[in-house]
């Protein structure tokens, strides 16, 4: 039962084939069996999860038919949760218990979901492999010696290994979609502002976006029906009507115009990945979609622009972690300055320190115009490229990552690691919706197909992804990890 999609589990509970308590206990048993191998969870909430499941069963017995009622979920440990640790994968917050819920958490609670626990992540969401976590690296369910991708690698690994039915993630430069590709699951990043960021610990405020990680595009649509919407507590939340994202899933892709960026099929792309993506695109063509090569001339500038903008915003956001109000504080500080220095030096890991330094430098007097302002101008050019492309096509498709999951410890050069998100970063800079869905294998490791839509074109993206999953079954494959789980 735990291998089923959210939609299938919801139907099973509606028909009485299984209760939420039974399902929740099955997931908890699976977590306690497999988590030592995967390290996907930082915190597991056995007692509260079972209590939520009992409440859900009572509510369903009284006639509540909310599709997500009683479905077990895991939250990335970047979302504040009342009474449960929110660590952000960092020593800085290793003992922080939030006094409030993030809006996303509240929305899922109101829908009656069961919170199984909090998933491991790259520290403060800074990483592409889930190796920067203070709590140790997450391992890929397909091969325990491989990374799951980052920063939402714990959520992606948990879904892939059937430790939960669905999970939340956050995406600043590809941190939902890249781990989804590496773990063979579905990961969706909505348009910027579509989902509230309130209570989601900030990395780069103009780029961060929460989204679902699950087993299918249909499940992502069900989750988005809960997650999406304006939040008056978040000034960047979009004041737009929330669609029923399941309503257009069944629409035919006949006549759908799919743009293929020529820049995404050049040097650096693995031959196996390219072959799988080309075959996936032919599936669309066979279903009546129209493929059209497009040009995104400034896409090669997305990585350098991102690694100025994101660290600059991180430098500002992480200044609040100073040892004064909450988070790690050093022992026996000599004075205030010593407390600041040692608390931050001890509390932050190497990658976080690196990005704070880069961001502080980029924002400093004398360098602001040379770096940060120029990066923002490039960002506008990248957005303009997408706007022009969407005049000719409905969605854009290509590889999520240039290759499959790499080995733990295989990439030690930060610049090489930064290039992991080369196909996804531009979508965050432009604030567009994007999804990664399974589309093949190379050496028994999953390959992700990346589909991008125009501003607030979530329904188009989810429809295109769902239709692909109707005429293929890559998303149904299950890992039998080398090393065993």
Q: Are 441 and 448 in contact (CB under 8 A)?
A: no
* Catalytic position from the list 151, 152, 299, 436: 151
Dihedral sign of CA atoms 363, 366, 367, 370 in order: positive
- 52, exposed or middle or buried, with CB in 10 Å at 0-12, 13-18, 19+? buried
- Give the list of residues 6+ apart from residue 338 with CB closer than 8 angstroms, or none: 330
Q: In what order do the strands lie in the sheet with 290-294?
A: 41-44, 114-119, 72-76, 166-171, 209-214, 186-189, 434-442, 445-452, 395-399, 257-261, 290-294
* Catalytic position from the list 10, 19, 20, 76: 76
* Alpha helical stretches, state H, 142-195: 153-160, 177-183
Chain-centre distance for alpha carbon 261:
23
* Alpha helical stretches, state H, 287-373: 302-317, 336-347, 350-363
Q: Are 358 and 414 in contact (CB under 8 A)?
A: no
**Paired residues of 140 in beta bridges:** 143
DSSP state letters, 208-259: -EEEEEESSHHHHHHHHHHHBS--TT-TTS---PPP-TTTTTT---TT-EEE
Note if 233 is an active site residue. no
Q: Is 262 helix (H, G, I), strand (E, B) or coil?
A: helix
- Dist. CA 313–CA 443, nearest whole Å: 38
- Dist. CA 456–CA 228, nearest whole Å: 11
- Stretch (H or E) spanning 105: helix 103-110
Q: Are 97 and 80 in contact (CB under 8 A)?
A: no
Q: Are 467 and 218 in contact (CB under 8 A)?
A: no
Give 441's DSSP letter. E
Note if 175 is an active site residue. yes
* Catalytic position from the list 10, 129, 155, 175: 175
Point out the residues that are catalytic.
Answer: 76, 151, 175
């Amino acid at each position: 039962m735990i291998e089923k999609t959210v939609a299938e589990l919801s139907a099973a509970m509606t028909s009485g084939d299984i209760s939420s308590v039974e399902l929740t206990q099955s997931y908890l048993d699976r977590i306690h069996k497999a988590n030592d191998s995967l390290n996907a969870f930082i915190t597991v909430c056995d007692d509260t999860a079972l209590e939520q499941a009992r409440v859900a069963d009572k509510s369903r017995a009284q006639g509540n038919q909310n599709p997500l009622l009683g479905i077990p979920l895991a939250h990335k440990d970047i979302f504040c949760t009342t009474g449960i640790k929110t660590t952000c994968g960092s020593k800085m917050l290793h003992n922080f218990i939030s006094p409030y819920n993030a809006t996303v958490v509240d929305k899922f609670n109101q829908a009656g979901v069961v919170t199984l626990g909090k998933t491991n992540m790259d520290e403060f969401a800074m990483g592409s492999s889930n190796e920067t976590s203070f709590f140790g690296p997450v391992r890929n369910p397909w091969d325990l010696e491989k990374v799951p991708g980052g920063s939402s690698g714990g959520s992606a690994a948990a879904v892939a290994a059937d430790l939960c039915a669905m999970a939340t993630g956050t995406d600043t430069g590809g941190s939902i979609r890249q781990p989804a590709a590496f773990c063979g699951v579905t990961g969706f990043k909505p348009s910027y502002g579509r989902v509230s960021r309130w209570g989601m610990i900030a990395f780069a405020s103009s780029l961060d976006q929460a989204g679902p990680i699950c087993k299918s595009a249909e499940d992502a649509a069900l989750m988005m029906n809960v997650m999406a919407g304006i939040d008056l507590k978040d000034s960047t939340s979009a004041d737009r009507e929330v669609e029923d994202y399941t309503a257009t899933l069944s629409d035919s892709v006949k006549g759908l115009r799919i743009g293929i960026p020529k820049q995404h099929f050049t040097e650096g792309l693995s031959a196996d990945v390219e072959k799988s993506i080309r075959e996936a695109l032919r599936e669309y063509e066979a279903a009546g979609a129209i493929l059209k090569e497009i040009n995104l001339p400034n896409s090669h500038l997305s990585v350098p622009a991102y690694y100025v903008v994101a660290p600059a915003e991180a430098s500002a956001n992480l200044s609040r972690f100073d040892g004064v109000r909450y988070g790690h504080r050093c022992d026996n500080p000599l004075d205030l300055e010593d407390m600041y220095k040692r608390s931050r030096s001890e509390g932050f890991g190497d990658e976080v320190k690196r990005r704070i330094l880069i961001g502080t430098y980029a924002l400093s007097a004398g360098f602001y115009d040379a770096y940060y302002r120029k990066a923002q101008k490039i960002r506008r050019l990248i957005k303009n490229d997408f706007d022009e492309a969407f005049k000719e096509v409905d969605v854009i498709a290509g590889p999520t990552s240039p290759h499959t999951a790499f080995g733990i410890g295989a990439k030690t050069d930060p610049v090489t690691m930064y290039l992991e998100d080369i196909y996804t970063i531009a979508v965050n800079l432009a604030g567009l919706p994007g999804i990664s869905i399974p589309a093949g294998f190379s050496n028994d490791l999953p390959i992700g197909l990346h589909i991008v839509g125009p501003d607030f074109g979530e329904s188009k993206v989810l429809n295109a992804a769902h239709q692909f999953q109707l005429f293929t079954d890559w998303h149904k494959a299950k890992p039998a990890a080398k090393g065993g789980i």
